[in-house]
Structure 1
């Protein structure tokens, strides 16, 4: 009989964890977001120590390292504005991160969904840190096709956001398929 009680208790614990009511299940996701932020910030600090603004180094025939600043959003959207965009994008990043934490706490057992949200949050906060510290986002990854077309420079935070968005779409497609 004691064994049966343990097994019921254990099942109760697991089901509460699946529903997201356990705060401890949030910790791994926040840890992963912290790793994304750390890698992003270390890469940006390194590039700013090694390169002068606009300095470029060819790595392959299609990839350069280059130090550039982005005062706007993706693809330098609104970069030429007077500076208000810094505060708007910072606020959006913080609000989105707070909402993501709420979603992670509610759906911590949905692994792919949480991976997606965590990568998006880590990337968003990495760029928020830049905006708060420097007034712009540091970008340095420059992919190009010969000298004809250069994809806008980006950073590891942007890469995490794109990867997270891809995983989010994949998770949604899998959910709809079921």
Structure 2
């Protein structure tokens, strides 16, 4: 559980620090766009009031999304506390929880999530922006799918199982 909490803490801190640095200290709110690596990486200010890619942004879902993120974070922490899992599962849980809490703080403070990273390549213009929390949530969710859960097999859950086609005694 310690790995999960520390990972979550550092992800949360990195997310909030980068948002403060780029949005406030570098003035992205006023400038709206800054080229970092031309054609590849730019900072592009976007306030996401919806879910992924701004879906449902026309609805006032701020508090629903805050509640949902807190409920999912609590469920993941309870699951990890109960079952433990591999270090990769615990690390993944920390990524997901830290990222979710980073975006929760944005919704509480600003009413929307501050997205600013924009990556394009090879002449293809990407219209979407994201942040460190979004990356952590994605990696954490994928990690929990790949490394979470009971890997011991059915014997651990319900005792020995009979092979298919074997005759009963």
- Post-superposition CA distance 1:56-92 (Å, at most 9, x none): 11122221112221111110011122x2x10110000
- Give the corresponding residue for 1:78: 56
State the superposition RMSD in angstroms: 2.4
Tell me the matched-pair count: 151
Runs of 4+ aligned residues of structure 1 deviating over 4 Å after TM superposition are: none
> Hey, what's the Cα distance between the residues in 1 that align with 2:50 and 2:152?
34
Quote the offset at 1:174 in angstroms: 10
Which among 123, 135, 139 is matched to residue 99 of structure 2? 123
What's the secondary structure of 1:35's corresponding residue?
helix
| Aligned partners of 2:44 and 2:117 also within 8 Å | yes
Structure 2, gaps ≥5 residues long: 154-169
The reply on whether 1:153 has 2:145 as its aligned counterpart is: no
Quote the offset at 1:107 in angstroms: 2.3
Q: TM-score, normalised by structure 1?
A: 0.76
Q: TM-score, normalised by structure 2?
A: 0.79
> Hey, what's the Cα distance between the residues in 2 that align with 1:176 and 1:58?
49
Question: Which structure is higher in helix share?
Answer: 1
The reply on whether 1:59 has 2:33 as its aligned counterpart is: no
| Aligned partners of 1:51 and 1:67 also within 8 Å | no
Structure 1, gaps ≥5 residues long: 1-25
- Give the corresponding residue for 1:107: 83
> Hey, what's the Cα distance between the residues in 2 that align with 1:114 and 1:44?
25
